[in-house]
Structure formats: C-alpha cells, structure tokens
Amino acid sequence: MKLKGPDLFVPLGAVAAAMLVFGVFCAALGVNPLGVYASLWKAGFGSWYSWQNTLVRASPLLLCGLCTALPARAGIIVIGNEGAVVVGGLGAITAGLSTAQMPSLVSLTFMVLAAMLCGGLWIAFSVALQHYRGVSAVISGLLLNYLAIALMNQLIEGPLRDPSSFNSPATFPLPLDHRLGFFSGTHVHHGLLFGVIGCLVAWFLVERTTFGFSMKVAGGNVRTAKLVGLPVGRLVVMAGFLGGACAGIAGMVEVAAVHGRGNESLNAGYGYTGILVAFLARQSPLGVMLFSVLVGGLVAGSGMLQRAHDLPDATITVLEGTLFLFILLSDTVYGRLKIPGGKANAVAA
Amino acid sequence: MQLPPESLGGWGLVVALCGGAMRGSIPYMFVSLGECLTEKSGKINLGMEGVLLMGAMTAFGVSDLTGSPWLGVLAAAAAGLLLGALHAWMTQQPAVNDVAAGIAMILFGSGLAFFFGKRFVAPMAPQLPLLNLGGWSHTPAVASALRISPLFFVGIALSFLLHWVFTRTRWGLQIRATGDDPQAARALGIDVNRVRFFAITAGGGLAAIGGAHLTLYFPGIWSEGISGGQGLMAVALVIFARWSPRRCLAAALLFGGAQALGPSLQSLGINGYYHLFNASPYLLTLAVMIATCSPNRSLTGMPGALGKK
C-alpha cells in the first residue's frame, strides 16, 4: 500500500481537531485542558512503565480492530466485536479446562483454535445474515453482543461456575502453566504477539493476495464482482469469519493471560473500542497497529484522569466519541482538498 | 414492580406480561416513532441508543435538581433535539456514511450521558405521577399492572398524530416525498436538506422522551446499563413495523411484553435460565429481522431513498 499525502494528514488533522474540541469541553467544565493532556501523555506514554500499560491495553485492541477492518474491506460494517470477544473467551476457557491434563502447549493451541472458531462463526453468522437475508450486520451485530453477554452470564453462573467464587461468579481457573507468559522483565503478556502477527498477516492477506483483492472488489461493487465470476457470498462471509476469529483470539488472550479464568471482565468494552480503532485506521491493518497503541494509551490514562483531575472514567468515552465524529467528518474533506497526488479515497463502507 | 401473582395461577403470568408490556413498551414506542420520522425522510439514525441514554440521564438530573419530573421530560427532549441536530448536520456532509455516523453517535451520546451522569448514580429523583386505572380491582396484581405512566398515553396519541401528519398534512407529504425520491422532491421545490434536518432533529427529541421514562418511572434510578440496547432494538422495530407509526405502536407493545417475560417468570418462581429469558427481546428482534428482511431490498412501505447516498 502506497501512502499518499492525505492518507496521513487528514486523519491526523481530524485527531488534532477532535483534541481541540475536547479541550474546549474540558475548559468549559473548569478543568485545564493542557493539564488533562499532560496527564494522558504521562499515563500512556510518559515512561517505560506506562508504555507497558499501554501495550497491555493495545493487544486486545489490535485484534478487535481487525474484527471491523477486515470485513470492511469486503464492504460490510461489523460492530459485533464485543460479542465475538465474549464467545471467543468462553470457547477458550471451555477448551482450556477440558484439556487441562494435556501438555501446556497443546492446551493453549486448542484454546486458540476454539476461540477462533467461536468468534469467527459468531461474526460470520451476522455477515451472512446481511448478505443473504438483508438484515443489517450493524443491528444483528449489536443484538448478538447482548446475546453473547447473556450466554456468558448463564454459563459462568451455571454449568461452568467454580463453586468457590461467591460474589463475582467465574469459571474454574486455568492451571498456572497453561497460561500465556510475559515478556521478560515486563508485565506485557505474550498476547501482544497475537495482535501484531494478526495485523501483519491481515495486511499481507488484504494487500498481497488474490483473496484480498477479490474481497476488495466484492466490497467495492457487488455487480462487478459477480460479473467477473467472484463467489461474492463466500468471500464476504469468509472476511467476516476471519475478523471474528481475530476478536475471538482477543477473548482467549484476556482469559489465558490477564484473568486466568472466564468471568464478567470478558465484557470490558475492548470490542467497542476496537470499532473506533478500525475507523481511525481507515480500515487498514497497518493503521490498526498505529491506532491501537494510541487508543490503548488513552484507555490506560483513564484512571489517571480520575485521580489527578477528579474527572469520571467516562471522560475517555467522550474523547473517543469526539474522535470518532471527527474522523467521519474528515471523510468529507477528501474529495475537496486538492493536494498533489491525493484523490478521492472513500472507504468501502 | 413487585407482583404477587401466585393468587392468580396461570393468569398471573398473563397479567404480569400485559402490565409489563404497558410499562416496558414506552421507550420502544418513543424511540421507534422518532426513528420512523427520521427514516421517512430517507436517512437512518442508528445512534438512538446514545439519544436514549442521554435522555434518561438528562431527565433524571433535571428532575433531581428542580424537583419537577415534567421539567425533566422537557429537558430530555431538548437534549435529544441537540443530538438529533448534530446527527442531521453530520449526515448531510458529503461522503459521511449515516450508518457509521450512527455508531459514532452511540459512543458520543453514551459517553456524554455517563460523564454527566456520574454524580447522579446514587440518589433517587422525583418520579412522574402514575395514573391509577386499576382501582376497581381487588386483586393486587391487576391493580398494580394498571398503574400506568402518563407517557404511555402520550406515546399512543403521538403515534396517531404522526400517522395523521404523514397522511393528511403538507409537512407529512414533504417528508415522504423527500424520503422516497429526493431528486423529484427537489424538482417540486422542496428544500430536501431542511426537511431532513427537521425530521432527524425532531426524531431525536421524540426518542429522548423514551429515555425519560427509563429513569422517571419505578424504581426511578439512573445507572449506566439502564437502556440495555432498547434504543437499538427500537430501530430494528421500525423495519418490522414497515415504517408505519401505528404499527410501531403494536410492535412496541410486543417488545415490551417480551421484555417482561424474564422478570415475570422469575416472580412465578421459575428462574433457572434467568439470563437467557432476560435476553428474549434480543432474540425476538433478531428473529423478527430474519423473518421480515429481504436481500433484494424492496420492502413494502420502505422509503425509497433509505440506505442510498
């Protein structure tokens, strides 16, 4: 993928404009915006320790961003990421607990595969509904999020419940050596590798393979795709499956690296934030890498805003919403700006 | 609402479901009417979940600060108008996708609601007075099922009013013409952008009143999970209702009843699959969507310009 001038300047300009508006919002509430941004910088990127926090947050975001970015290439807006994370996590913990007697590596492999299958089928179902039945994947995806959460609550309070977990129901824990490890000397877990590899593979798939090209044709113009004989339905559903499989792995990572068991924290909002990451990245897998770290830093800084400025944790949600609005508004600039080498570049959406 | 339905046997479930339908349908009613108005003009507002939360928080906060729940309802409507206007303005910019804008508005609206709502999580605000229509009954379950919020009747009146506006008035004709074929509407001298701005903004205002019901009715508290996807389901419901305000009313009652299924069964002592029964509105919405949508995109009653750029 060749980066053109506007590909870089327009999103960064949108981010700057959103930060300006959010700054005015803070100032109107009597909080010094420069102080807020200084705190966010310090908590997200100010030291090696805060970088580690940011990377821990970024690792599920990389995978959740792909869950929206990959199907977007095939022309479908997927926002069922949260549900795919939850069912992926449930699949992983079920596989992990039933292979607890096997060697650690075998068990972890089963967990990854189960998570990919659960998350993948979850999103593939929603995408197939749009393609074959005309049910908006946006609506079915959000409904499936609520269904996944209900399923999770039913399972962790019922069949999967560890009887010793009283106040916050959870499953039995994974054996200690069946969890993902940490990079030495840090508290960053190996789940980050899944995210980075996922983004690189996705980039290769989208930009360098026939499959990725066919996907883009199907997403660009269904009629053209059908005329040249592409199996549009299969391509679109496959893109959904791959995206969902990524979000499923994010659930597996949360289970196998962060919590060590399945509990309510699976529904921590990474799926929703992943949608924002994908749109900020204009659905490009490499862009997802960049913006996962940026947004991961924001998420890591939300606690700091509470402590240092007495702002509620939803402050970050307001900033995220503002960013989202501005990045969409920036689409309107593309056709109008006359920058040498830049031309209208509408995201398939 | 605590119902002691044992005294009524199997009828207890029916009474509880009907009462639940009349209570639970109110948010669906207002949001689906607002969305119906929006979509009649040819645009989609998927951000109703954010509008609903913002309405719920604003109504609660204003009712708590001023002591007047009706002022809370008005303030909620005002907040909804503002969010609606923002969505309308955004989606009229060239190359801005209205589905993506809706997703952004869900995040933005709920973020604002959670931000300003933080201080209101604990207390209880003055609630809307209830109309006691069950005084004649000696059965407590029936009497309590018939204690109805006045917003229920406002919603019914609104759906008939909207139907009348769409079919009998000049405004309604302009909105429908805009939604069916903006080119032709322009040729008739209709200011398409202004009509859409009005419809989307007013739709947001209507939807936010549904949010007011969430916090100004028993148990009358504000919490971040209070809307639970009802704003989104109401958007799906408009498709099911084929863009007719009167059918929106019927569909809202159905969804309100489905929502009452989990709690009603629980009050009868059946709580084995509590979480799954509580998820029945989501399942119902999904089933209804699968049954009523069609891949070739020509549904009866669907505004012609919907989903097109």
> Looking at residue A161, what DSSP letter applies?
B
Q: Which of A181, A200, A199, A201 is nearest to A191 (CA)?
A: A181
What values do phi and psi take at B228, rounded to 5?
Answer: 50, 40
Q: Which of A245, A265, A249, A261 is nearest to A190 (CA)?
A: A249
- pLDDT at B261 (0 to 100): 83
Residue A346 pLDDT level (bands cut at 50, 70, 90):
very low
Distance from CA of B143 to the nearest CA of A (A): 32
Pull the structure tokens for residue A58. 């970024």
Inform me whether the pLDDT recorded for A151 exceeds 80. Answer: yes
Given a contact cutoff of 8 angstroms between Cβ atoms, the answer to whether A140 and A249 are in contact is no
pLDDT in tens, B134-178: 777 777 777 777 788 899 999 999 999 999 999 999 999 999 999
Pull the structure tokens for residue B254. 């159905």
B287 burial (CB, 10 Å; 0-12 / 13-18 / 19+) is exposed
Q: What is the mean predicted confidence (pLDDT) over A38-55?
A: 93
First-to-final CA distance of chain B: 46
| Most trustworthy range by pLDDT among A4-13, A114-123, B272-281 | A114-123
Q: Which of A122, A173, A110, A126 is nearest to A149 (CA)?
A: A122
- pLDDT at A162 (0 to 100): 85
| Most trustworthy range by pLDDT among A261-275, B8-22, B49-63 | B49-63
Q: Is the dihedral of CA A327, A328, A334, A336 positive or negative?
A: negative
Residue A8 pLDDT level (bands cut at 50, 70, 90):
confident
Q: Enter the ipTM.
A: 0.88
Tell me which residue has tokens 């689906």.
Answer: B32
- pLDDT at A319 (0 to 100): 94
Inform me whether the pLDDT recorded for B284 exceeds 80. Answer: yes
Entry field: residues in chain B: 309
**For A139, which of B96, B105, B232 is closest by C-beta distance?**
B232
Distance CA A303, CA B120 (A): 20
Q: Which residue of B has its CA nearest to A72?
A: B100
**Which domains are seen in chain A, by residue range?**
5-334 (1.10.3470)
Inform me whether the pLDDT recorded for A339 exceeds 50. Answer: no
Count of alpha carbons within 13 angstroms of residue A308, beta-carbon side = 19
Given a contact cutoff of 8 angstroms between Cβ atoms, the answer to whether A274 and A71 are in contact is no
Given a contact cutoff of 8 angstroms between Cβ atoms, the answer to whether B215 and B56 are in contact is yes
pLDDT in tens, A47-94: 999 999 999 999 999 999 999 999 999 999 999 999 999 999 999 999
Tell me which residue has tokens 């509580």.
Answer: B278
pLDDT in tens, A288-317: 999 999 999 999 988 888 888 888 888 999
Q: What is the mean predicted confidence (pLDDT) over A337-346?
A: 44
Q: Which of A38, A47, A268, A249 is nearest to A145 (CA)?
A: A268
Cis check for the bond before A103: say yes or no (omega within 30 of 0): no
Residue B281 pLDDT level (bands cut at 50, 70, 90):
confident
Tell me which residue has tokens 């099922």.
Answer: B145
Tell me which residue has tokens 């229509």.
Answer: B133
What values do phi and psi take at B132, rounded to 5?
Answer: -95, 90
Chain B positions in Cβ-Cβ contact with residue A328 (cut-off 8 Å) = 90, 96-97, 100-101, 104
Chain B positions in Cβ-Cβ contact with residue A346 (cut-off 8 Å) = 95
How many degrees, rounded to 5, is the angle at CA B167 between CA B164 and CA B168?
70
Distance from CA of A137 to the nearest CA of B (A): 11
Distance CA B112, CA B106 (A): 10
Between chain A and chain B, the number of residue pairs with CB atoms below 8 A apart is: 138
Using alpha carbons only, how large is chain B's radius of gyration in Å?
Answer: 19
Chain B positions in Cβ-Cβ contact with residue A31 (cut-off 8 Å) = none
Least confident of A82-91, A214-223, B38-47, B105-114: A214-223
pLDDT in tens, A125-145: 999 999 999 888 988 998 999
Distance from CA of A199 to the nearest CA of B (A): 23
Chain A positions in Cβ-Cβ contact with residue B61 (cut-off 8 Å) = none
Inform me whether the pLDDT recorded for A343 exceeds 50. Answer: no
DSSP bridge partners of B147: B132
Chain B positions in Cβ-Cβ contact with residue A336 (cut-off 8 Å) = 94
| Most trustworthy range by pLDDT among A15-19, B94-98, B277-281 | A15-19
Q: Which residue of B has its CA nearest to A152?
A: B275
Distance CA A288, CA A270 (A): 14
Inform me whether the pLDDT recorded for A1 exceeds 60. Answer: no
- pLDDT at A3 (0 to 100): 55
pLDDT in tens, A96-128: 999 999 999 999 999 999 999 999 999 999 999
Tell me which residue has tokens 């009523």.
Answer: B292
